[in-house]
Chain A
């Protein structure tokens, strides 16, 4: 299947731990994103990479560090997890160029206890 995939689907962890979420797309896209969706369903962009280069970095704590080993993968590492990090994290991708459709992954549900 051609798609955007994320692992893990669910992540439950203790405050203070470090965790990573992985994203892969096989759509041949050049640009990838991380979004955070909070409990009120508000969807906010965190980062964007184009061909492994960071192009958008919103006001996100330094504890969040994205990494793109190649243009098909974008991972998100979170250090010293806090309660407020609990959310659903979505990866998305699109072709380079302005008005191209963004395709979203199924989400990773992170719960910090």
Chain B
């Protein structure tokens, strides 16, 4: 099946601390795993993605790790800032990554 589970649904961290969001998926054939950030009143925007031939990818304060054996991947945001407050979605590519199935979303709040 095409199932994607995302946790937690809400996350509140102090500014400067790290935030971690986790996703699990069902189809071992999936090989594309993007993360999107959605700010209030806007469309989702890609922040980082990972393909199954690598286990970790980093872009400044954002990193994603992938465990294909366990079928889970995580988003790590370090040194969080107020502008990181948003809803974050993981997604998994199915049907040759032509179709993305999204997780339920995590509302991240950074407390000053």
| Interface residues in B, total, Cβ within 8 A | 27
Assess the B98–A43 pair: CB atoms within 8 A. Answer: no
Bound complex: CA A41 to CA B10 (Å): 12
Bound complex: CA A99 to CA B87 (Å): 23
Q: Which of B87, B95, B96, B100 contacts A102 (CB 8 A)?
A: B100
Assess the A45–B99 pair: CB atoms within 8 A. Answer: yes
B44's nearest neighbour on chain A, judged by CB, is A104
A9's nearest neighbour on chain B, judged by CB, is B41
Q: How far is the CB of B91 from chain A (nearest CB, A)?
A: 8
Q: Which of B32, B43, B87 contacts A41 (CB 8 A)?
A: B87
Binding site for B on A (CB under 8 A): 4, 31, 40-45, 48, 50, 55-56, 90, 92, 98-107
Assess the B34–A101 pair: CB atoms within 8 A. Answer: yes
Assess the A43–B96 pair: CB atoms within 8 A. Answer: no
Q: How far is the CB of A26 from chain B (nearest CB, A)?
A: 16
Known interface pairs A48-B98, A56-B99, A98-B93. Does A43 touch B34 (Cβ–Cβ under 8 Å)?
Answer: no
Bound complex: CA A56 to CA B101 (Å): 12
Assess the A90–B44 pair: CB atoms within 8 A. Answer: yes
Binding site for A on B (CB under 8 A): 31-32, 34, 36, 38, 41-46, 49, 51, 87, 89, 93, 95-102, 104-105, 107
Assess the B51–A99 pair: CB atoms within 8 A. Answer: yes
Bound complex: CA A44 to CA B89 (Å): 12
Q: How far is the CB of B57 from chain A (nearest CB, A)?
A: 13
Q: How far is the CB of A60 from chain B (nearest CB, A)?
A: 14
Assess the B31–A43 pair: CB atoms within 8 A. Answer: no
- Across the interface, which residues of A come within 8 angstroms of B107, CB to CB? 41
